[in-house]
Amino acid sequence: MLKVNFNDSWTMKDLQTKKEFDVKLPASVMNALLDAKEIDDPFYRDNEDQALEVAKKDYLFYKTFEVDQTLLTHEEITITFHGIDTISEISLNGHRLATTENMHRIYEWNVKPFLVEGENVIQVMLFSPLKYIEEKQANDRLAGVHHAVDGYQHVRKAHSMYGWDWGPKIPDLGLWRDVELKAWNDNRLEDIHIRQIHESNQVQVMVDVTVENEVDKNETTILLKDPDGHTVSHEIVHQQQTEQVLFEIENPQRWWPAGYGEQSLYTVEVLLKKDGEQIDSLIKRIGLRTIEVKHEADEWGKSFEFIVNGYPIFMKGANYIPEDNLLPRTSKERTERLIQDSVAAHFNMIRVWGGGHYPEDYFYDLCDQYGIVVWQDFMYACSVYRLTDQFEQNVRQEAIDQIKRIRYHASLGIWCGNNEVEEAMEHWGWPKKADWRRDYIKLFEIILPEIVAEYDPQTFYWSSSPSSGGGFDAPRDPNIGDVHYWEVWHGQKPFTDYRNYYFRFCSEFGFQSFPSMKTIESFTKPEDRNIFSRVMEKHQKNDDANGMILYYLSENFLYPKNFDALLYTSQLLQAEAIKYGVEHWRRNLGRCMGSLYWQLNDCWPVASWSSLDYYGRWKALHYYTKKFYDPILLSIEEGEKDASIYVTNDHLEAINGRIEWKLRDNQSNIIREDRLDIDVDALSAKSCQYLDFADLINNETKYQTYLEATLYIDGQVYSSTTVIFAKTKHFEFLNPQLRVTVAESDEQFLISVSATSYTKYVELQLEQDVVLSDNFFDLSANEPKIVTIDKNNLTQSLTKADLEKTLNIRSVYHITH
């Protein structure tokens, strides 16, 4: 098979101005105009509005290319578009090949009849994605979210490109994935489907290979290589279109989620030969593992529990949205950093949320490699869909394209029909129209599960998130299935409300914060730097959420002294809120089996629920996540005058160690202390000690008293944590007189931080973007903490002198001082 990459030398033409721009795929209209300086950065200030105007017009992409006689002699010649965004008409040398209206599909067309020797031209007319939905919505008004351009659900294009409660309205147009020309004779590999059967010490790998034509002389070789590269092979001579081979692997090296074992990957390689000559090939990397979802009645309701290689695993992660509103700006490097930062924060799962697009192949490769289980939504979110015959045919093919593309990945853990459609139709006050409900059931509870059962029978299908199992049967039930819990934040309930629930799996909950000053500087002028300014409000898409942040602030913190202190405090609120929920659910491991906070990342610089901002900068929440998702979690459930110390153990083996606790005053003087030896079984949580301080905490002392606990494993400090018994705003923090000294080794900078009194949320800030070993931590007086920076992870050079010069430090005390 001859494959020619067709990404180079395209022209994008603005049909109104007649201007032309050279582009390389993946390419989009906005990105091309931006590169040519025809439009201003759509993410800067309020430029988003200009960008929306751009999407009101039609554009042409074309490419001229030479074809020689050798190519034309092939029996079959096709062109494959891996992603067209979205409403298009494709023609080759003036012959119309097709029209498209689905960015989530992979299109391949036969071009042999239209190619000529010499110069050829392929044209893609892209029609405005705004005009299209306007007309459809006028004819058939469907319910959805009000943050997006009205009618967005009529087209199979990432919904969030039309705006979301964290995203700008920039419905770009373009060729967002590769284009390739393929030419072959006789036959080609059409498909490969891999399944696994696991027994205690043996795995059978079944490989179904399908070729396009039934030709008995074709010979296929199927190789399986173990993670060390040793090959086992099978050869078959084709009699039928689909042939199956079976590999039996003794003592398999299994694939595990991050934190549980190795991410061993085997390779399946298929070679198609004719008369001894190789004519096509395919390579897939697979992991040997089982992932099941247990959804069974039990003493609390009905579980929702991932079982990996036979072990019930508490899933820890967050929800993933598209990484950039301008799709050509995404890259493997950016995604790899995101995945690395997720693993650094002890994630073992990422949920690909249904309002965006299906990620690139490299996203899944990276998840395979780093051990992140993928919760994969089909791309439907928060809306009603009209299942016309044409829509149905379109989305059936979309599901088949995507399932075939993704199904072999070790990381794929679950297919989920949609995001919040079932709950929206039941609980969001939309009219309960019979035809809407019928179409819902047909698409998400009949068609998609049937397609999954046919093309990927080994992966669990769940009709909606959240759901109790479907059929509009109490999708919000806290004791059945998965839950999206938004009473903290949207419902303005206090953080403590999380403790009223023991969800079986909390697949969404979240709390907003502002990004850091540096990120805000990237899209504002100095005069914009007030959270209620026009520009800051433009970068806050959740209606009155800035007011919401201030409301929660008033409940918890003192009024910040300036804009920067407000940004900092908003991040502390966010980190505390999510920690409050997660620690509680992890203390109830067994009953609750997963926590995916909303949201991991941003698609532009904005105030949002993310823990990593658009530039990948770690907010306080991401540092907190690294601690509250640690496989061994030490946590304190504090009451008004008492506390329970817990240890949660996610390891497959029991652990033992020692806890030391100290009740201290605000100068860190010890009021009472003790220690205890602990052992905690594998995959369990344990309340190790209950402490009653009724004799010590009263209306005066409660503003000056904190409890500190430290966990020792193998005699070393593993982690430590503190809690206070009053609201942070009322606690009498003294000036901690923070001091830092910097030392260095070949590998690291070591920053020693100390305080003269108890302080919380110590943040080290550097001019250069760096990830620190810890940040936003608590300090007791005269007990220095060493924070490290790994020199290998620096993106620019950094000397000890630079570091000392640009290092800034603050803590809770500095919110007001």
> Which residues in this chain contact ligand BMA in the complex, by CB under 6 A?
164-166, 355, 381-382, 419-420, 508, 598
- Which of 282, 284, 267 minimizes the C-alpha distance to 233? 267
Q: From the CB of 381, what's the least distance to ligand BMA, in Å? A: 6
Whole-number Å distance between alpha carbons of 672 and 706: 11
Half-sphere exposure of 147 (CA within 13 A, CB side): 19
Q: What are the distances in angstroms from CA 715 to CA 392, 493, 712, 718, 784?
A: 62, 41, 5, 9, 19
Are the CB atoms for 752 and 740 separated by under 8 Å? yes
Q: From the CB of 432, what's the least distance to ligand BMA, in Å? A: 20
Are the CB atoms for 178 and 26 separated by under 8 Å? yes
Nearer to ligand BMA by Cβ, of 179 and 381: the residue is 381
Q: From the CB of 354, what's the least distance to ligand BMA, in Å? A: 8
Partners of 684 in the β-ladder = 649
Q: From the CB of 598, what's the least distance to ligand BMA, in Å? A: 5
Q: What are the distances in angstroms from CA 298 to CA 384, 501, 504, 591, 695?
A: 33, 17, 11, 10, 41
Are the CB atoms for 227 and 242 separated by under 8 Å? no
Whole-number Å distance between alpha carbons of 310 and 198: 10
Nearer to ligand BMA by Cβ, of 164 and 306: the residue is 164
Nearer to ligand BMA by Cβ, of 181 and 381: the residue is 381
Maximum distance among all Cα pairs of the chain, rounded to whole angstroms = 94
Q: From the CB of 589, what's the least distance to ligand BMA, in Å? A: 25
Nearer to ligand BMA by Cβ, of 399 and 603: the residue is 603
Burial class (CB in 10 A: 0-12, 13-18, 19+), 562: exposed
Q: From the CB of 490, what's the least distance to ligand BMA, in Å? A: 7
Nearer to ligand BMA by Cβ, of 177 and 541: the residue is 541
Task: Give the ranges where 658-799 is alpha helix by DSSP (H).
Answer: none
Structure token digits, residue 684: 């369990």
Residue with tokens 């050798």: 70
Q: From the CB of 424, what's the least distance to ligand BMA, in Å? A: 9
Q: From the CB of 791, what's the least distance to ligand BMA, in Å? A: 38
Nearer to ligand BMA by Cβ, of 352 and 553: the residue is 352
Nearer to ligand BMA by Cβ, of 63 and 484: the residue is 484
Are the CB atoms for 752 and 741 separated by under 8 Å? yes
185 SS3 class: coil
Nearer to ligand BMA by Cβ, of 418 and 569: the residue is 418
Q: What are the distances in angstroms from CA 354 to CA 155, 158, 291, 320, 509?
A: 14, 9, 21, 9, 16
Partners of 550 in the β-ladder = none
Nearer to ligand BMA by Cβ, of 37 and 146: the residue is 146
Nearer to ligand BMA by Cβ, of 421 and 683: the residue is 421
Task: Give the ranges where 90-231 is alpha helix by DSSP (H).
Answer: 129-139
Q: From the CB of 530, what's the least distance to ligand BMA, in Å? A: 24
Q: From the CB of 419, what's the least distance to ligand BMA, in Å? A: 5
Q: From the CB of 635, what's the least distance to ligand BMA, in Å? A: 26
Residues with Cβ within 8 Å of 613's Cβ and at least 6 positions away in sequence, in order, are: 515, 516, 519, 602, 605, 619
Nearer to ligand BMA by Cβ, of 163 and 287: the residue is 163
Whole-number Å distance between alpha carbons of 689 and 676: 8
- Which of 35, 42, 23 minimizes the C-alpha distance to 126? 23
Whole-number Å distance between alpha carbons of 793 and 563: 30
